[in-house]
With several copies, the nearest count.
Chain A
Amino acid sequence: MSDDELKDFYRWLVTLRLLDQRAWNLQRQGRIGTYPPYSGQEACQVGTAAALEPEDWICASYRDWAALAYRGVPLSYPLLNSMGHPDAGKIPESINALPVQVVIAAQTLHAVGLAWASQLQNQDRVAVAFCGDGATSQGDFHESLNLASVIQAPVIFVVQNNQWAISMPVSRQMHSKTIAQKALAYDIEGIRVDGNDIIAVYQTVKKLAAQVRQGGGPVLIEAVTYRLGAHTTADDPTRYRSQEDDRRLSQGEPIGRLQRYLRDAGLMSDQDFAAVDENAKTKVDEAVEAAEAYPKSDPESVFSHVYAELSEPLKDQRTAFRQTVQPGGAKLG
């Protein structure tokens, strides 16, 4: 990796971390709704996203905004999403990524299908399925890995093992010592990587993506990381994890690490770091502004994307709906 690439990573991580923290605060101020912070997992997400080709697919869960952002989804989207705006699902046309999805592990099968479609159409695209440690318990996770292995689909499963599924530690989720070893059940390659080390994540995914793209079959990556914050703004982790453990595990977080590396290698100075912080602040301010200035959604739009064409019954329902809503969007009554 070039020095510039590393510095760029740093800029991304810092910006994304700040965005995440800002989102948390916005929720606390009542300006956005429930929000699932990704702090601590930026390296897994950005490292993976950066290692892909532009046309590759990403299938994300609710916590994977850092990956989407790196791919080009505006920074305002996670905020819009927590503001309950429908457009947060409208991934810009130029980006091959599915909107975030909350049903645990369901997106892993979509990734298999997308990879399969690429295979059938000789598109050379790889699909990445992000999911969490908790997701490995779901039937869909298993069905994904099995199907992908049988058809040798070009999928990379990236499990972010952040140690927790809400209040459930990994040890209650599985009896196996690692997630990577689950690859053995499917005779595919399984790798455990330090998910807090963006260079390791990037290089692992880079290498595996090439291999997968060349028809080497699916791979399973366990990126070991730590969820620095709560599960969501509605969660209180002090109920179930000790401050002690928390302190210990937080130390490995990816930004401090990359910063130390950059400093030790003489690549960035304190001044540079301050500039990055400054720049991040600007970008995050802009994102907040963009989200808050984003046009309100027309309530009636709820009918617009159920089917390609509005069916007769839905037309009637929309007419009835209109009678309950004022033109400006306020509720009648």
Chain B
Amino acid sequence: MAKLTMIQAINQALGIAMERDERVMVLGEDVGKNGGVFRATEGLWERFGDHRVVDTPLAESAIIGSSVGLAIGGMRPVAEIQFFGFIFEAMDQIGTQASRIRFRSQGRYHVPLVIRAPFGGGVRTPEIHSDSIEAFFAHMPGLKVVIPATPYQAKGLLLSAIQDPDPVLFLEPMRLYRAGREEVPDDWYELDLGKARITRPGDAVTLIAWGPMVPVAEQAADRAAVDHISVEVIDLATLNPLDTATIITSVEKTGRAVVVHEAARSGGFGAEVSAQIQEHAFLSLEAPVIRVTGYDTPFPVPSIEDFWLPDADRLYQAIQAAIRY
């Protein structure tokens, strides 16, 4: 067991998955010699050679489309999209192909494909590099959407994703890649997909987050604790399938919920969480579910992003608002 950053945990997961199963391969732009622009695939090309760690041409639709064929043909491709914002180019291959092959073929074929993509803001990138568009994918039946928030989570969830017989979009919060270290077992372990995680127990307000917003939520919870407000923080970890039970159990206890995401507000996945809470815990709610989100603008340029991104302040205020309602 060693203390690893998230990027190291991901790198380790890829390594042991490839060691354990010959069918696992990694493909994408700059994943080979360069080890990926964030070094997620560092050392894999040297260990597994260029048949299993493949630098592809600069073409996201080709990366995903050929991965669909690879997966049907018996491989277990782990495809990297260099930045989540460039997945727009592969939308068709994800939305009408990877996610529907099982359905179209009535189970004759399936697509055990993992699509990894770094995402989210806070790291001063050029345009399109920081977009949070997870909501699109949570609205694509046939696809799973998984988002780790810690190194330990990242490794276990990624190994589960690679084992999963269906296509999984695995979103990695860029700003958490090297934000901290955590004890991560050296060996193989899996964490169930579709299970949310309570990272702080509490009983006054439920605060629901995923990926990059989890530490922010925890910060807000810590601050609230100083004021003796007990906040339960839930890391969804998987957006599809959603672990409604964990959310509802919590809100039934707290009666108040705040959900946070970086993505633009309208049509963001927070809306789904909010809708479900009021569907299933209506009578427990003491206040409306509050969403703290990015604004309905494109992701801003670096000089503005700190103002734009949800932070512990905005969350803390939302917690207060929920309490005072």
Contact = CB atoms under 8 A, between A and B. Distances in A.
A and B in contact, CB less than 8 Å: yes
Interface of A: 33-34, 57, 59, 62, 81, 83-91, 93, 98-99, 101-104, 106, 108-118, 120-121, 127, 134-135, 137-140, 143-144, 146-147, 150-151, 165-168, 172-174, 234-235, 239-240, 296-297, 299, 301-308, 311-314, 317, 321, 324-325, 331-333
B69 A93 contact: no
Contacts of A121: 73-75
B296 A106 contact: no
B110 interface: yes
B58 A138 contact: yes
Give the top 3 A-B pairs by smallest Cβ distance, nearest first. Answer: A113-B69, A109-B65, A84-B302
B189 interface: no
B113 to A, nearest CB: 10
Nearest to B113: A113
Contact of B37 (A90, A103, A166, A305): A166
Given A34-B126, A113-B66, A113-B72, 10 more contacts: A34-B125, A89-B104, A90-B107, A91-B105, A98-B105, A101-B104, A110-B72, A116-B73, A173-B58, A240-B33
A173 B102 contact: no
Interface in B57-116: 57-59, 61-62, 64-75, 77, 85-86, 88-89, 92-93, 96-97, 101-110
A106 to B, nearest CB: 5
B142 interface: yes
Contacts of A143: 57, 59, 61-62, 65
A99 B74 contact: no
Contacts of B71: 113
B157 to A, nearest CB: 16
A57 B73 contact: yes
Interface string B285-324: 0000000000111101111111110011110000000000
Contact of B295 (A111, A172, A239, A321): A321
B143 to A, nearest CB: 9
B128 A103 contact: yes
Contacts, number: 266
B58 A165 contact: yes
Q: Which of B32, B108, B298, B313 has the most CB of A within 10 A?
A: B108
A98 B57 CA distance: 25
A317 B265 contact: yes
Contact of B303 (A83, A321, A324): A83
Nearest to A306: B297
Interface of B: 25, 29-30, 32-35, 37, 51-52, 54-59, 61-62, 64-75, 77, 85-86, 88-89, 92-93, 96-97, 101-110, 124-129, 141-142, 144, 164-166, 194, 240-245, 265-266, 295-298, 300-308, 311-314
Contact of B69 (A34, A103, A116, A313): A116
A116 B66 contact: yes
Contact of B304 (A86, A98, A240): A86
Contacts of A59: 69
Contacts of A113: 65-73, 77
28 contacts: A33-B124, A86-B106, A86-B304, A89-B104, A89-B106, A98-B109, A101-B97, A103-B85, A103-B89, A103-B97, A104-B86, A106-B65, A109-B61, A109-B62, A113-B65, A113-B69, A114-B73, A117-B70, A121-B73, A144-B62, A146-B62, A173-B58, A299-B307, A302-B304, A307-B102, A312-B243, A317-B265, A332-B313
